Each structure stands twice: as C-alpha cells, then as structure tokens.
Chain A
Amino acid sequence: MALRINLYHEIDSQRSASRRDPLKIAGYILGVVVVIFAAMYVLELSRSSALNAKFGDLKSQFDQLDPQAREAEKREKTLMRTLETSEKFVKNIETRFYWAPVIEDVVKAVPREVQIVKLTGSVQGEDLKKAQMTFDGIAAGPDPRRVAEDLRQALVETFGKKYKHVTASFRQLDEGAEMASLDGKSLPTATFGITISLQVGEDQPATPPPADRKKRRG
C-alpha cells in the first residue's frame, strides 16, 4: 500500500477556513437581504409614484372644478330665488279662491220661494284657504222653516261637491211678520240667516308629537 502524504494540508486548511469565513457568509446573507429590501423599496416606490400621479391628476381636476363649482353655487342661489319666486307667484295665482263659481252655485241652489237679501263671504289662508259665508234671506211657503232648511241642505250638497269640510248652520230662523205673494197665493214667511264654512286646498299633515324622552321608572 502506497503511502500518500498531503504536502498542501496547510493550503487546504486555509481554503477550508476561507470557505467557512463567517464574515464572508454574513456578507452573502446581507447581500441577499439588501437585494430583497431594494426590491421591496422599488415596489413601494412605484406604488407611491402611481398614487402620487393619481393625486396630482385629482388635484388638477379639483383645481379646475372648484372655482367653477363656487361660481355655479352663487349662480344657483340667484336662479333658485328666481325659480322659487316664480313658483310661488304661479301657485299664488292658481290657488286663488274664485267667488264667481260660488255665486253661480248659490244662484242655482236658491229656489224661487227664497229671496237672499244679503250675502257676505270672506276667505283666509295661503295654502289652505278657509271660506266663511253668511246668507240672510226670506223663505216663503206653507212651511217656511222647511223651505229654509231645504235651502241649507241644498247649499251643503252643492258646495260639498266642490269643497271640503262644508258645514252650514242657522244663525237665525224666525217667523216673518209679513206674508209673501207667490203664484197668486199669500204665503207665510220666515227670515233666516245661514252660516256656511268650507275649505279649499289640502290639509297640512299633522305634526307628530315630540317623543317622550323620559324613561318610565318601574
């Protein structure tokens, strides 16, 4: 058996020591970490750059839109005032209470046995209009009170078709001192006063009562 003598054992041990050099290994590891970190940074930088570009784009859009919007807001306020005024005017005109149809209805409802001596009426309210009318007159017939009552009911029926909450009541109903001549007959009379109230327009929705905040203690 041949004897082998390694004359380079010192060189080999040096090489081996160099391969296992912790500083060198640490350098490699550090290099890898640096590369990973650099990649992460580049990635983050690119995302940040995209975000900055988006922000710049939005900012320029906002800078362009904001003065326009401010100007539009001022103009809108002025135009809205015009629109509201016009709308209120039209509503004011369209929701007026018309007396001519009322008078026409009264003329139609009054029978020939009745003479209206005085008619007064007034209307109040803006959106919801409440009208009140009084009729003073003379009714003639075999039963003049019945004639006056028929007139009251006829007025309620006539106005009830067009208006809301129509109520009619006698303010006064007395036998008349004079006799009236109708169709050649002399008939007893009654003087009456009828008050009618009615409503035009929609009822305002009732305001809900405030919630009871106090807790009930048992």
Chain B
Amino acid sequence: MKLSKDQIQKIVLGVLAGLGVVYGYFTLLLFPLQASHNTTKKSIAALDPEIAKARAQLARDADVRQQAPLAQATLAQIDRMIPEGAPVAWFPTRIGEFFKTRGIDRATTRLNAEVAHPKLPGYRRITWGVEVPRAECLTLGTTIAALENEELLVSIESISIETQREEPDTQRVQLTLINMVKQ
C-alpha cells in the first residue's frame, strides 16, 4: 500500500495529536493527582502515630487519675501528722510528752541540723538529739518500740545506751532522731 502525501500528513498529525493527549494527560492530570495522593498518604502515615500517641497519653492519664486518689489521701494523711508552725516549737514538747506518758520523766530534745529532703520535694529532714538521763531498761525498750510504731515520720538514726555506775539498773540514753516536716 502506498500512502499519499495527504495521508502521510494526516498520520503525522494524528501521532502528534496522540502525543499531545498523552503528555497533557500525564503532566496536567495524572501526575499532579498522584503527587497529591502520595502527599495525603504521607500525611496519614505521619498522623497515625500522633493519634496513637495521643490515645496512649489519654490512657496513661486515666490510669494515673485512677491511682491518684489513694496517693493524694496518703499525702493528706502524712500532712495531717505534721503540726503547723516551726518544728522547734512543737517537736521537743511532743517527744518530752511522749517519754513522760511512758514513765520517763526527763527527755531533752535539741535541734541538730535541718536540710531539704533530697528525694521528697517540699519536705525537710530535721535531725534532733534526744537525751534521756535516766531510764529503766524495760521501760526504755517499750518506749523506743512505741516511738518507732507511733511516730511514722520519725526514724532513729543512732542510739547510745550506757549503764550508770551509780545506778546499774538504769541507763543514760542518747538518741539521734530524724523527722520529716513540710517546708
């Protein structure tokens, strides 16, 4: 088959029109759409972990909120154990009364040191020296046991019990107490 000049021109025109259509289709329609498609996909991929993170945060918060009342009640209970005012005004009196009610008449309490608690923000550690010049062995033992059981915010850091030469049945006692108070 021999093509005429007119036919060749038409074929060339048809090919050019086809190329134009293909180019226009991909450049103006399909590629921008695919680019937008990919951008949306990326945005979804970025958003998914953010949503999961937010949900996890809310779940954690719910869990913490569930535990919080017990912790708040514990802290409130602890705060109620600490009287208002300067500790030096109430602690020596409290310890003196404590020993007195258990049969030890004299107990002198002095403030030794006061520092912010390293692990509990908002609280202080106060070191006190307690001197009991005369105490009976059994009474002393029960008093120390009672002090450790009843005064939860007090711990005995050091203890010294020395028999008195003049009265071998009684002891001279020195205690170093650590007490926690609010700042």
Interface residues of A, Cβ cutoff 8 Å to B: 20-23, 25-27, 29-30, 33-34, 37, 40-41, 44-45, 47-48, 51-52, 54-55, 58-59, 61-62, 65-66, 68-69, 72-73, 75-76, 79-83, 85-90, 92-93, 96-100, 103-104, 107, 115-124, 126
Contacts and interface: CB of A to CB of B under 8 A. Distances in A.
Contacts of B159: 99, 119-122
Contacts of A120: 158-161
A41 B25 CA distance: 9
Interface in B150-165: 152-153, 155-163
Given A72-B58, A122-B158, A55 B145 contact: no
B169 to A, nearest CB: 11
Contacts of A118: 160-163
Given A72-B61, A86-B75, A45 B33 contact: yes
Contacts of A98: 148
21 contacts: A21-B10, A26-B15, A26-B17, A34-B21, A41-B29, A48-B37, A59-B47, A68-B54, A82-B68, A82-B71, A82-B75, A85-B120, A86-B71, A86-B72, A87-B71, A98-B148, A107-B137, A115-B163, A118-B161, A119-B161, A122-B159
Contacts of B74: 86, 89-90
A61 B158 contact: no
A58 B44 contact: yes
B36 interface: yes
A33 B21 CA distance: 9
Contacts of A115: 163, 168
B139 interface: no
B120 A89 contact: yes
Given A22-B11, A26-B18, A79-B64, 16 more contacts: A22-B7, A44-B30, A48-B36, A51-B41, A55-B40, A55-B44, A69-B53, A75-B64, A79-B67, A79-B71, A83-B67, A83-B71, A92-B119, A93-B152, A103-B140, A120-B161
Given A76-B60, A85-B121, A99-B156, A44 B33 contact: yes
Contacts of A29: 14, 18
Interface string B32-45: 01101100110110
Contact of A41 (B30, B157, B161, B162): B30
A68 B22 CA distance: 50
B115 interface: no
B180 interface: yes
Contacts of B10: 21-23, 26
B13 interface: yes
B88 interface: no
A75 to B, nearest CB: 6
A90 B50 CA distance: 36
Contacts of B61: 72-73, 75-76
